[in-house]
């Protein structure tokens, strides 16, 4: 017999969701000391690490001494330049500096970040556009298309309405194996109908990654709708700050609950969660937004076999949320969207 439970959201809770200890690097320690308006440019060391006596992450980096160019990876910077939108300003953020403090990181496509312990996994980080990417998307240049513009390739669309987009994709790995699921974040999005809805990010926003599988390293890809014979035309850079990992000791994938499905997704007033329990058990339920703020916490009793849980979502603001089901040291997270 299918067991049905109904839960209402508890609003305005003060707690912030976290089930394990977190470590955050804001890149403002002595390790990242720079002269004003400069950036990391090491011609002898390929990688750099987070600060502290025990660095918790390694950022891959490669400087080509022969050409005098930054070839790949991530570089920390304190550049404040929101005016220069050319390739001579690779490191400046359109948000005019860091999320907090003075130093942040500029990341190139296919950058790899490795956690220095198998007990650590990515939780999330703040991002914004580089000035170079932002100005190129907004105005175009001799190599890249102004977003929204149409060309002969896009005939039949009104001028300025091509559904362009620019995004980053977080891809998790463990022991060198690409894991299922990924997290996407749009840094520019012209897909919604109406020029008034065209969006280019110019502030700092959080990319929540704690719902991804436990991983020991990540690769960050940067994709665009503007591509050519040699790949992406849009400058493939973005800025990062407050890189956060979580301690995963004792955390395992939920084993007693399977065939989890949520619908409708996206949702408006109500959300239904269907799942199958192998045995009778007590599950802890938490619902939280992309910043980790809880909107609901409760416990439910399940029966062996099919179960159904109804969630009232009318009081939630529009946005992305996560449901976490926990039993002991095991958990499972499911994403849903509130309209």
CATH class of 3-19+251-338: mainly beta
Query: Residue 12's pLDDT is what?
Result: 30
Considering the domain 22-247 in this protein, what is its CATH number? 2.60.120.1350
Query: Residue 108's pLDDT is what?
Result: 97
C-alpha to C-alpha distance for 88 and 103, rounded to whole angstroms: 19
Which H or E element spans position 4? strand 3-7
Query: Residue 300's pLDDT is what?
Result: 87
Nearest C-alpha neighbor of 236 from the set 73, 115, 124? 73
**Residue intervals in the chain for CATH 2.60.120.1350:** 22-247
Q: How far apart are the first and last CA of the chain?
A: 32
Query: Residue 14's pLDDT is what?
Result: 27
**Residue intervals in the chain for CATH 2.60.40.3080:** 3-19+251-338
pTM surpassing 0.85? no
Query: Residue 236's pLDDT is what?
Result: 97
Q: Report the DSSP beta bridge partners of residue 174.
A: 177
At 81, give phi and psi (nearest 5°). Answer: -155, 105
Task: Using 50 as the pLDDT threshold, list the residues of the chain that sit under it.
Answer: 1, 9-20
Query: Residue 16's pLDDT is what?
Result: 31
Ordered DSSP codes for 128-178: E-BHHHHHHHHH--SSSPPTT---GGGTTSPTT----EEEEEEEEEETTEE
Query: Residue 66's pLDDT is what?
Result: 86
Query: Residue 15's pLDDT is what?
Result: 29
Query: Residue 76's pLDDT is what?
Result: 97
Query: Residue 158's pLDDT is what?
Result: 65
């Amino acid at each position: 017999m299918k067991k049905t439970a109904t839960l209402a959201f508890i609003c305005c809770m003060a707690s912030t969701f976290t089930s394990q200890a977190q470590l955050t690097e804001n890149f403002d320690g002595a390790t990242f000391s720079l002269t004003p308006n400069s950036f990391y440019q090491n011609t002898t060391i390929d990688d750099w690490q987070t600060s502290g006596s025990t660095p918790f992450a390694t950022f891959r980096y490669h400087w080509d001494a022969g050409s005098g160019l930054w070839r790949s990876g991530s570089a920390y910077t304190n550049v404040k330049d929101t005016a220069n939108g050319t390739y001579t300003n690779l490191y400046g953020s359109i948000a005019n500096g860091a999320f907090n403090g003075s130093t942040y990181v500029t990341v190139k496509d296919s950058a790899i970040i490795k956690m220095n312990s198998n007990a650590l996994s990515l939780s999330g980080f703040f991002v914004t556009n580089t000035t170079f990417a932002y100005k190129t998307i907004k105005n175009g240049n001799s190599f890249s298309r102004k977003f929204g513009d149409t060309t002969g390739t896009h005939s039949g669309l009104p001028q300025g309405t091509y559904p362009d987009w620019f995004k980053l994709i977080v891809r998790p790995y463990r022991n060198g194996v690409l894991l299922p699921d990924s997290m996407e974040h749009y840094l520019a999005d012209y897909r919604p109908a109406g020029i008034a809805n065209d969006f280019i990010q110019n502030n700092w926003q959080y990319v929540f990654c704690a719902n991804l599988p436990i991983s020991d390293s990540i690769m960050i890809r940067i994709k665009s709708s503007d591509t050519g014979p040699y790949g992406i035309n849009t400058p493939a850079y973005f800025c990062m700050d407050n890189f956060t990992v979580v301690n995963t000791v004792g955390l395992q994938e939920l084993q007693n609950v399977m065939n989890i499905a949520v619908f409708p997704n996206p949702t408006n007033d109500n959300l239904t969660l269907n799942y199958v329990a192998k045995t009778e058990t007590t599950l802890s339920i938490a619902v939280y937004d992309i910043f980790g703020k809880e909107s609901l916490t409760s416990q439910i009793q399940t029966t062996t076999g099919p179960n159904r849980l109804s969630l009232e979502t009318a009081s939630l603001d529009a946005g992305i949320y996560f449901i976490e089901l926990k039993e002991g040291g095991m958990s499972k997270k499911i994403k849903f969207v509130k309209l």
